[in-house]
Amino acid sequence: MTEPDAVRLDVGTGADLRSIAVLARKAGEKGAGLPGVVWLGGYRSDMTGSKAEALCRQAGLKGQACLRLDYSGHGASGGSFRDGTISRWLEEALAAIDHYTFGPQILVGSSMGGWIALRMVQELKARGLGDRVAGLVLIAPAPDFTLELMEPELTDAQRASLERDGFYEEPTPYGPDPNIFTMALFEDGRNNRVLDGLIDTGAPVHIIQGMADPDVPWRHALRLVEHLPSENVTLTLIRDGDHRLSREEDIARILGAVDTITAQS
C-alpha cells in the first residue's frame, strides 16, 4: 500500500487566495461501493498525527478512499494561522471534498474538526448533497468552542488584549509555541453556531469523548447529543481518556466506530 504524495489545492480568490496541502488516496478494487473516509483535524493539528495515520492506514487495507488536509496556517499548508476562522477552514475542507472525493464519505472530526464536520453536513445539505455524508465519527468534538467554552473563561487581561491587539496568546501543553486566539475567530464562531437548534445529519453519528479531557468537558458531548435528532447516535465516554485520545486503545475505538458506520452504509 503506497501512500500518496501531498498535492496543493488553491482555495479562494484575489487577496484571499491560499494554497493548502492535501493527501488523497483513491479507493482500491476491494473498496468499491464502500464510503470514503475524510480526516478533519483540530486546532493547530496537522494531517500526519497518529490518529490520522492510523485511520488512513486502515482505510487503505480495506480499499477505502481516504482524504486528509491541512487547513491554511496548519502543517504543510500555506497562509497565516492568524487569518484562520471556522468559515475559512470550512471553505477549505469543502473545497477538498469537492475536488478529491466521490460518493458518500465518513467525516472523522477531531476537536475543532468535529465542529467543522457538523458545519460541512449543514452546507452539503443546503446544496442538496446531504447523501454525500455516510456518517460522522466525532472525537472530543468542540462545536461552538469559542462561544461556549472559551468566552466565559476569558480573563480581563485576555479581553483587553483582544480589544487592543485583536488577539491573545496562551501556552499549550501540546507544543512549544503558544496558542493564538483572534478576535476574528471569536466573531466568526458566532456565525457558525451549531448548538442553537437541531443538527439533522441524516446519517449515523458516533461520538468518542474522554472524561479526563481538560480542554473539552465531557458534558459538552452530552449537550451535543441533545441537538442530534437522529436515533442512530452513539456516545462512548472513556473515563480516563484525555483530549488527544491517541493511546492505542483510543485509536482502536475510533477505528471500530468507522468500521461500524462502514458496515451500515
Contacts of 213 (CB under 8 A, 6+ apart): 140, 241, 242, 243
pLDDT of residue 98: 97
Give the integer Cα–Cα distance in Å for 261 and 20. Answer: 28
pLDDT in tens, 178-205: 889 999 999 999 999 999 999 999 999 9
Give the integer Cα–Cα distance in Å for 118 and 109. Answer: 9
Three-state secondary-structure class, residue 106: strand
Burial class (CB in 10 A: 0-12, 13-18, 19+), 26: middle
Residue among 28, 65, 72 nearest 46 (CA): 72
pTM for this entry? 0.95
Give the integer Cα–Cα distance in Å for 30 and 62. Answer: 7
Three-state secondary-structure class, residue 236: strand
The grid coordinates listed for 157 are 487581561
Give the integer Cα–Cα distance in Å for 184 and 166. Answer: 8
Question: Are the C-beta atoms of residues 77 and 18 closer than 8 Å to each other?
Answer: yes
User: How many other CB atoms sit within 10 Å of the CB of residue 217?
Assistant: 14
CATH numbers and ranges of domains, the chain:
7-264 (3.40.50.1820)
Q: Does residue 2 register a pLDDT over 80? A: no
Three-state secondary-structure class, residue 70: strand
Give the integer Cα–Cα distance in Å for 226 and 228. Answer: 6
Question: Are the C-beta atoms of residues 107 and 55 closer than 8 Å to each other?
Answer: no
How far is C-alpha 158 from the geometric centre of its chain's CA atoms? 26
- In the block, cell 467525516 appears at 107
pLDDT in tens, 4-53: 788 999 999 999 999 999 999 999 888 889 999 999 999 999 999 999 99
